Structure 1
Amino acid sequence: MPTAATIGRTLAAAFTFLVFTAPAGAKDSVKITGVSVGFPTGRDDARAAKFGAWAPVYVQFEALGEVTEPAELVIEAPDADETTTTFTVPLNLATDRAAIGYVRPGGSTSEVTVTVRTARGGAISEPFRVRVRPHEALQYVVLALGGAPAGFELPKPAGAGAETAPLRGGRVELAHIASVAQLPDRWYGYDGADLVVLNTGTAADFLKQLFGDDAPAPNKQKREALIEWVRRGGRLVTSVGSNAALVAQLPALKPLLPFAVRGDEPARQVDIVGLVWSAGSGLANTASAALTGRGARFPLANLVPHPGRAARVLIPPPGQSGSERQALVVQSALGLGRVTVVGFDLDGSPFAEFSARPDFWDFVLRECGANRASSGGDGKARPPGTVTEDEDSAAVALRVHNDTFDGVPVVSFGWVALLIALYILLIGPVEYYVLKRFFGRLELTWVTFPVIVLTVCVLTYVSAFAVKGRDLKVNKIDVVDVDPSSDRIYGTTWFTVFSPRIDSYSIGVTPGAGWGAEDRPESTAITSIGAPRSGRAGVTRRKYGVGANGLENVPIQVWSTKAFSANWSAQLDRSAAPGQQPRRFESNLFHPPGDRTKVLGSFGHNLPLPELTDCVAFYAGNAYPLPGDVIVRGGTVRLLLDQGTSATQWLQKNAGLDTLLVRDPAYAQRPGPKTAPRQQQQQTALAGPLPLMGMLFHEGALKNDEGVIAGNASLRRLDQSWRLAADNRDEVIVVGRVAPPLGPAEEVLTGPNAPATLWLKGLPGSGERRPIPGTARQETWVRFYLPVR
């Protein structure tokens, strides 16, 4: 008969065999050899990733054993509330040796964990951990694609020494991707880039692999990701020179070129060309220099207008171009994006030896990206790598506004501290005195102590229940950009959920009825937002999934809030409601004969919005408040844009920018006047709608004073101030808002004033949407981009 020791050894051996030799779940079937987060900068292992912005995660691995089950790459990282998020990428271990996933750093230092698992959840690799120190949101990241920029540098501040970092004290960062394999395959993968420069001079193979008709499916997906990022507000510069003939033969590149490259004669050879460009605000402030080949001829692309597509010529500037001079730098809009084509190479000669190269790069960042954001803040010299601000005021304003719920008072810390002090007195000196003085039996504390604790807990719960309530509450803000030229709408949604109980929510966002014609969840990116934290996962290890359809099982604690943002897009819904014409938008604006300074005509919309108020039109650098300030659904608005007010002056007076900046904790230290006490301004702002005009045209609303810097780092793509230029006479921008009162959540969040439909229990595509209980507040802002004939 076997002894107990023999049986024990046999069981131990069997357990060891099952754990360490089972091939389907063995952790040594795949080995992760490397993980990097963010865009490569070329400085050792340094990567460009920003707090609160999606960043690509590059993973390399090798298969050590056979895996017969479907596998997936799992990327885990904490969000701003220190709750772990999981992002999964399907893998084909038979062929794949690298993969790209995505993460959104939620803290000053974030730990990213990467694991390969089977579809059933069994780990087949050891976890690979990497710590990420993301840049602050105010960092300005320039991402070069294809050829490397030739001598990328910027002018140094006056009096700066040689030790000063050339890229404005570390505030501007340059990254470079030379391989198509490293390009993001989802549009939000470019979220951390403020300006993308596509160089074609030394990257013929790169262009063919990305934009060629015979490009493989993965490369076409990467191409569409880049174009979609631009449509949603990205800023792109394409330089075309020596490979102009190749560019002219790539139809897929056409959307990214404001002017086309002439097919029969793509380029011309020159010895020298004079460049004149804007050197700051105002058309009169210009700089000039001669780009010369130093004895050798060099190519300039022959750029010709696209029929029916509006574009602005930046070089030569307005008023200096003649019939004998051709456009060298041209710019236009693509959706919300800003696209620019430069008619010579920025990644080779002769630009590499151009004497005014730093000033020209400064022009590219200002006039093709964001003017105030890329200027280096206050312009003062800083030691290399020094950055000061942690978070932009616009993000703070949105969170504070959405986190303020009607009927849910915030208990101040003073009251909490007082109650804690009374509780300590009660379970300490008071209990001791009563037991000693009146009962004379201190051992009764074994009874009185738990009774006191239980009583206080019950009273605390009852008090919180009475103050906080038991209703689910949602505060939601929508900004919708309507682009009739492309027949698309672009939506940005911010919402905060107040949960009356411990619960998990599966969150999705889709275009509302009558807004988007197609329901494509994969076109929507939803994320949780918050202030920077430590970047470590919480003690409880709570997790939720980040997928194509939304966020799955997001935990929210009792009487707690969690903030989210969503970026979505769809085709305009052209279906007709009963008894209505099948249209959503109609515009007939034109210039009077021989006078492009004025606009006549009419427009109207049939979107679900019953009424837009506080409406204003912007055209050619001027603002025109609409008569009556109201646009009614199905009605016709007649425009006569003749004598207007300077858009900058109007925005500075009416955009509410001081109210936005007052929400920034660092507002008291910021320069500039404070028109009202901080507490008074904040209470006024929270009582009414958020003054989003200061975000929609942020740089246009800033005063041109020393020390005034842009505070919209996380919302730069929404800033359309560049379209307010005096020479932009091809479109009229009309802005209006809706601020309905508080009401039942389901009625408010699915009503005609809600452009985006919110899902809280269940994800889009998983079945029928469940009604949302409780109450909600919905605020809506709409921008129309009206073409002018």
Structure 2
Amino acid sequence: MAVACAIACFAWIGICDETKGQTLSTEAKPIGSAVNVSLLRLGLGGQGRVGCWIPIRLEAGGLTAGSDIKVVVVASDARGDQCADNVVTTTADSSGKIAINAAFMTGRLDGTIIVRLLDSGANVLWESSIPCRSIGASPILEKSPELGAIPSGLTLMTYRPLTLATIGVPDALNLMANELGASAATKDTLAVMSLDSLDDLPTSRRGLDSVDYLLLVGTYDVSKLQQLSIEQWVTSGGHLVVSCGVKLPQLLQSSLGNWLQPIFQIEATPLFIQDLSALQNFVSGSSQLQTYRKPVAMMKLGSTQAWSLVDSINGPLIQRVSYGAGMITVVAVDLDDKPLNQWLSLPQLYEMLISDRLLNDAENRVFSGGRISSSGVSDLATQLAAVSDAVPAADRWSSWSVMLLILLFLILIGPVDYLLVVRLFKKPQLTWLTFPLLIVATCTLAVSWVGTRDAAVIVRQVQLLDVAQPNFRQTIRVRSWDSLSAADSGYISVTAKPLPIATSAGAEAIADSRMTLSWHGRPEDVYGGLYREGGVTVRRQLSHRSDQLNGQSSEFSSVPMLTDGSAAFLAETFVDVSESMVVESHLRVSPSGLLEGEFTHHLSSPIRDWAVVFGNRVYRASLKANATGQIIAPGKPWSRENNAVDVSDLREFLKGVRMPGPSAATKSVAGVNHIQFKSFYDTQGTNPLDILTMVSLFEVPGGETFVKLQNNGLRHDDVSDVIHLNTVLVLGTLDVQLSAMIVNGTTLKPKASQTVVRLLLPVMRVGSVVETPMAEPLASVQLN
């Protein structure tokens, strides 16, 4: 009896109750047979990334004219439960047709995705089940024959491989991808998403969430919505590569050309050249690039601010600029036309456009091939998610802890009962009363102990504010990683709203914006990770999500919550504040590479613990700075010329290298012992600023070799290359909360909320700027 009661008592502490909830039925109940879906496309080229937004494109007819139609996608979430996502609600036109472009997410590499069309009464008009499969070893997938308009499957990949989307696949790109796939070190580093036409390009930034590189060669006639989605995607960390030569008129007449022309100062008339030796010399060990004395069309790029990767006597052949957190590379000749498409070294040129990341991934793969993460943390995104977890790892009861408590209780209950009935009361027959009372009292104390909470629902937040000023625009991107924990099992509804963060008129645009709320998963193969298999589906729960319908923020309903469990969400908004800028920047870089000029922000909080990064240098508050110099106050310009600013080497700063000051026995600085103290990155750290600093500058100190973690989940936030082009990074913390969680209609005050800010500001190059090399290390290095 004691054993049974003890097991029941302590198991209740460590193991959450399973909720009795809704069950998912995959049986369709169509009410009309006239519905005809003429087109259904999932992903880009039939591919997507688990845990990222995946585009869906659907066209259907045979509907009642003027009727409201809901498009619902049912897929797994990060916990393995099902989420019915109402991705869009539209109205059938006069001919009974609809055409939609939207996005959804899935949290498992396998399983089945169900697409449904519902009428206003939630009756199923049409549905289709699409199986998911994990990507294989080949970087370019052979397209399986489609049965009619419905795809036969969706191929999903992890965060590990880089993805390159393109219209069709040029032969040289196909050859490069196959060569990478044939090597054991690089076979999983690149996946090519081949689109049939420009119509398959998403019309929203979220639709490009799975894409790292977008290559446009020969086809440029994108719609205005597609161009805006590409621009926002680049601002958020994407890399656009455009190649154009003889088709320059078509490029300049498109929305894409109207956007790129002022950035690169593209002239309307192409040049015709016969010498491409500069491009040949750019590729190490390349074969000869012959033009056979035939003229080759070349764009004339006149920008003095763009970084020329390949220059020639006729002008730049390849130029690159930073744009927010992303980059744009323009190749001034057509890579898919003669003579370049016949060049034997063209695959190597494609590889060099993205070679840095590919080579780094290959090196890190060899370096970390035998490493196993005992903590379940292999990515910086997982470390960041653990900081916002409403039930921190330190507060969780493991199975071993529960069993140890049970064993301890069984050991103690006998002697305690003996002392009571024999030594104290001296009536052994009372054991029939005292023994059950001890069990009941222990269970009552355990229940009251575990049930003590600050609130019925606990919220923890880690928030990131990105202010980017690419070209003549300024955008604000707010992301909030939120975690909820409930005291009792049940179902909740969840939404989010933005909060005022600026003192300028731009605050109105932020307050009027709508937030996109989604579930959030960790890029791991542990319990609750995105890389786990679907498993048993009998007792999976079903939640519902609506995506920004009727001008409202997206919302979850009937989200299952377990006692003392946690559910993770990501709230996000992207706002254009160009009409009333939150940050004013007038930064310049001198020929020596030092920052000049100033910037001023109008946020409602000072920036604390700040660091300004450009090139190989970091600018921080001096140790002798007063309280005013330790912060960047709203409305007050920041400048390097301030005496309270120290300049140091960026790589050594990220590696934790610090030089100790003079000791009491030292009379002068010349007597200081020049010894550096170097510390490794703390993979178990809980400071969001430290984590996001390493995310933002991941490649600078050596990537995974130094950090000992990967940066795949937040790869688009790595601006290691951007800070060497046209962008200054300002990092710090704010005292302001960016967004609020609304649970069951009540706005909750978070138990903990930490905000990090990143300003991505333009810098004007003055004169001939020479990139300064990394500082040489001093005599000796001590590892702490």
The TM-score, its normalising length taken from structure 1, stands at 0.72
2:51 partner letter: G
Aligned to 2:309: 314
Aligned to 1:539: 539
1:360 partner letter: L
Aligned to 2:83: 85
Aligned to 1:123: 124
Q: Secondary structure at the match of 2:166?
A: strand
Aligned to 2:381: 395
Alpha-carbon separation, structure 2, partners of 1:455 and 1:256: 74
Aligned to 1:298: 296
Match of 1:602 among 584, 598, 604: 598
CA spacing shift, 1:174–1:377, aligned 2, 3 Å = farther
Alpha-carbon separation, structure 1, partners of 2:226 and 2:515: 14
Match of 1:142 among 141, 164, 169: 164
- What is the correspondence of 1:221-236 to structure 2 with a 5 Å cutoff? 221-236=225-240
Contact 1:32/1:126, CA 8 A, preserved across alignment: no
Alpha-carbon separation, structure 2, partners of 1:173 and 1:424: 57
Alpha-carbon separation, structure 2, partners of 1:39 and 1:391: 29
* 1:218-243 deviation line (CA, Å, top 9, x unaligned): x4323322222122221110111121
- What is the correspondence of 1:197-236 to structure 2 with a 5 Å cutoff? 197-200=215-218, 203=219, 207-208=220-221, 210=222, 219-236=223-240
1:154 partner letter: M
Q: CA deviation at 1:607?
A: 1.1
1:348 lines up with 2:337 in the alignment: yes
Match of 1:475 among 451, 460, 478: 460
Q: Secondary structure at the match of 2:652?
A: helix
Percent identical pairs in the alignment equals 17
Q: Secondary structure at the match of 1:399?
A: helix
1:652 lines up with 2:655 in the alignment: yes
CA spacing shift, 1:496–1:525, aligned 2, 3 Å = closer
Q: CA deviation at 1:392?
A: 5.0
Contact 1:29/1:67, CA 8 A, preserved across alignment: no
Aligned to 1:781: 757
Q: Secondary structure at the match of 1:223?
A: helix
CA spacing shift, 1:713–1:522, aligned 2, 3 Å = same
Aligned to 1:74: 72
Alpha-carbon separation, structure 2, partners of 1:27 and 1:422: 64
CA spacing shift, 1:342–1:647, aligned 2, 3 Å = same
1:331 lines up with 2:313 in the alignment: no
Q: Secondary structure at the match of 1:403?
A: coil
Contact 2:460/2:750, CA 8 A, preserved across alignment: no
CA spacing shift, 1:777–1:631, aligned 2, 3 Å = same
Alpha-carbon separation, structure 2, partners of 1:392 and 1:349: 45
Match of 1:365 among 354, 362, 370: 354
Q: CA deviation at 1:27?
A: 4.9
Q: CA deviation at 1:195?
A: 0.7
Q: Secondary structure at the match of 2:716?
A: helix
Q: Secondary structure at the match of 2:251?
A: helix
Aligned to 1:765: none
Aligned to 2:521: 529
1:136 partner letter: T
CA spacing shift, 1:95–1:381, aligned 2, 3 Å = farther
Q: CA deviation at 1:523?
A: 6.8
Alpha-carbon separation, structure 2, partners of 1:102 and 1:417: 45
* 1:96-137 deviation line (CA, Å, top 9, x unaligned): 476544222212323211111102201112443423432111
Aligned to 1:107: 108
Match of 1:499 among 486, 509, 521: 486
1:479 partner letter: L
Q: Secondary structure at the match of 1:395?
A: helix
Aligned to 2:699: 699
1:619 lines up with 2:623 in the alignment: no
Contact 2:30/2:126, CA 8 A, preserved across alignment: no
Alpha-carbon separation, structure 1, partners of 2:657 and 2:488: 40
1:240 lines up with 2:244 in the alignment: yes
Alpha-carbon separation, structure 2, partners of 1:348 and 1:402: 51
Aligned to 1:464: 450
Q: CA deviation at 1:325?
A: 3.6
Contact 1:75/1:101, CA 8 A, preserved across alignment: no
1:262 partner letter: E
Alpha-carbon separation, structure 1, partners of 2:555 and 2:359: 34
Q: CA deviation at 1:496?
A: 1.7
- What is the correspondence of 1:144-183 to structure 2 with a 5 Å cutoff? 144-145=166-167, 148=170, 150-154=172-176, 164=182, 168-183=186-201
Aligned to 1:435: none
Alpha-carbon separation, structure 2, partners of 1:654 and 1:489: 33
Aligned to 2:712: 713
1:412 lines up with 2:398 in the alignment: yes
CA spacing shift, 1:622–1:424, aligned 2, 3 Å = same
Q: CA deviation at 1:141?
A: 1.0
Aligned to 2:634: 633
Match of 1:490 among 473, 477, 483: 477
Contact 1:144/1:197, CA 8 A, preserved across alignment: yes
Alpha-carbon separation, structure 2, partners of 1:304 and 1:473: 56
Contact 1:618/1:732, CA 8 A, preserved across alignment: yes
2:209 partner letter: D
Contact 1:242/1:345, CA 8 A, preserved across alignment: yes
Alpha-carbon separation, structure 2, partners of 1:392 and 1:415: 25
Alpha-carbon separation, structure 1, partners of 2:52 and 2:194: 18
Alpha-carbon separation, structure 1, partners of 2:440 and 2:397: 22
Contact 1:270/1:299, CA 8 A, preserved across alignment: no
Alpha-carbon separation, structure 2, partners of 1:422 and 1:142: 57
1:565 partner letter: L
CA-based RMSD: 4.4
The TM-score, its normalising length taken from structure 2, stands at 0.72
CA spacing shift, 1:737–1:287, aligned 2, 3 Å = farther
Alpha-carbon separation, structure 1, partners of 2:84 and 2:574: 24
Q: Secondary structure at the match of 1:310?
A: coil
CA spacing shift, 1:352–1:784, aligned 2, 3 Å = closer
* 1:342-378 deviation line (CA, Å, top 9, x unaligned): 11122333222212223211111136xx466665743
- What is the correspondence of 1:271-286 to structure 2 with a 5 Å cutoff? 272-275=276-279
Aligned to 2:723: 724
Q: Secondary structure at the match of 1:717?
A: helix
- Provide structure 2 residue ranges, at least 5 long, that are not aligned to the other structure: 1-28, 135-155, 370-374, 418-427, 523-528, 659-676, 767-784
1:587 lines up with 2:585 in the alignment: yes
Contact 1:599/1:640, CA 8 A, preserved across alignment: no
- What is the correspondence of 1:251-262 to structure 2 with a 5 Å cutoff? 251-256=255-260, 258-262=263-267
Q: What is the number of equivalent residue pairs in this alignment? A: 651
Q: CA deviation at 1:543?
A: 0.9
